[in-house]
Amino acid sequence: MLANKKPKRLPEWFKVTLPSGEDMQRYNSTTSSVKDNKLHTVCEEARCPNIHDCWGRGTATFMVAGKACTRGCRFCAVDTIRNPPPPDEDEPIKLAEAIKNMGLTYSVITVVNRDDMDDGGALHYKKCIDKVHEICPKVGIEFLCSDLSGNVNALEFLLDNSPLTVFAHNVETVRRLTPRVRDPRATFDQSLLILKKAKDFRPDIITKTSIMLGLGETEEDLLSAFMELRDAKVDLLTLGQYLSPGPRYHPVVSFPSPETFDSLAQIAKEMGFKAIASGPMVRSSYRAESLVAAAKGETFDIELKVVA
């Protein structure tokens, strides 16, 4: 069983190095590209600890359909709003132009939940994906989707002829903790359904999910989740440490050691995942292109702990 004592401070393996030199120039350039196009990033909205590293490499995970979510999960720092404004009609071209100007070879696009829309935002998401491919046909696209409220027809529409490399949807935590950690509208079964149907609709697309550790899960919980994800034919898995955004959110229950992350990655590999990124600082979109390369048997960034 994983440790269940609430720690008072970050352990010694949590260290963030600020960019310098060329990396700082790329960080500033990425910041300008995001702001000039009035785009939102999950890096900023979710207060990701890797923002300096990723932006220093010229990469960012773009968040479309607004900066506020219709759900209020207890782990997430993104703002919640019941009736958000309609998505920006110019967002697809702004997104595509930003990715072009940044010279990216791989891009991750994520979304807020849009429970206020009949299709969960699928039409807008599809427009964004298609426009990026039109303007940047050589850029690999990873799409981190909501659960679309379980609307499989909207999912099928979204994936039809979609130029995606990876379709991702995060289960976030284990089945037992889902009602406590996520919004009541987000169930473990609904997330599994979206991942399974995505593979059914497009078996040629790589599927991916992410689980946060430190929320009170046990190893038994995790192994059960791994098995259910493999039953849904999920290809890629990321495991990272949960960090509470503040006192109003779910507390951090434990800080599993780097060795625990390594052990879980080996177990997941034996279960059949094509590649796993596992470590305290790993986030669902962190070095995403490296994980895909590892799954394909290609070379990948040696600074990221990847098991393939």
User: Between 230 and 280, where is the model more confident?
Assistant: 230
Kindly state whether residue 11 falls inside one of the protein's structural domains: no
pLDDT recorded at residue 2: 54
Is 12 part of any domain? Answer: no
Q: Does 4 reside within a domain? A: no
Tell me: pLDDT of 121 over 80: yes
**pLDDT at residue number 51:** 52
Quote the mean pLDDT of the chain: 85
Confidence (pLDDT) at 281 = 84
238 in Cβ contact with 284 (< 8 Å): yes
Q: What CATH number does the domain containing 262 carry?
A: 3.20.20.70
For residue 205, is it within any domain? Answer: yes
Q: What average pLDDT does this structure show over 105-127?
A: 94
Percent of the chain beyond pLDDT 70?
A: 78
Q: Which residue has the higher pLDDT, 226 or 79?
A: 226
Give the pair of three-digit tokens for residue 71.
């759900």
282 falls within a domain: yes
Report yes or no on 172 lying in a domain: yes
Q: What is the arithmetic mean of pLDDT over 28-48? A: 54
Q: What is the pLDDT of residues 268-304, one digit of tens each?
A: 999 999 999 999 988 887 778 888 888 888 754 434 4
What pLDDT shows up at residue 78?
A: 86
Domain assignment of residue 148, given as a range: 22-307
Average pLDDT of 4-16? 60
Residue 2 maps to a domain: no
Residue-wise pLDDT for 59-89, tens only, equals 567 889 988 899 999 999 888 998 999 999 9
pLDDT for position 274: 94
Residue 126 predicted with pLDDT over 60: yes
Q: Is residue 78 part of a domain?
A: yes
Question: What's the structural domain count of the chain?
Answer: 1
Name the pLDDT band for 46 (thresholds 50, 70, 90).
very low
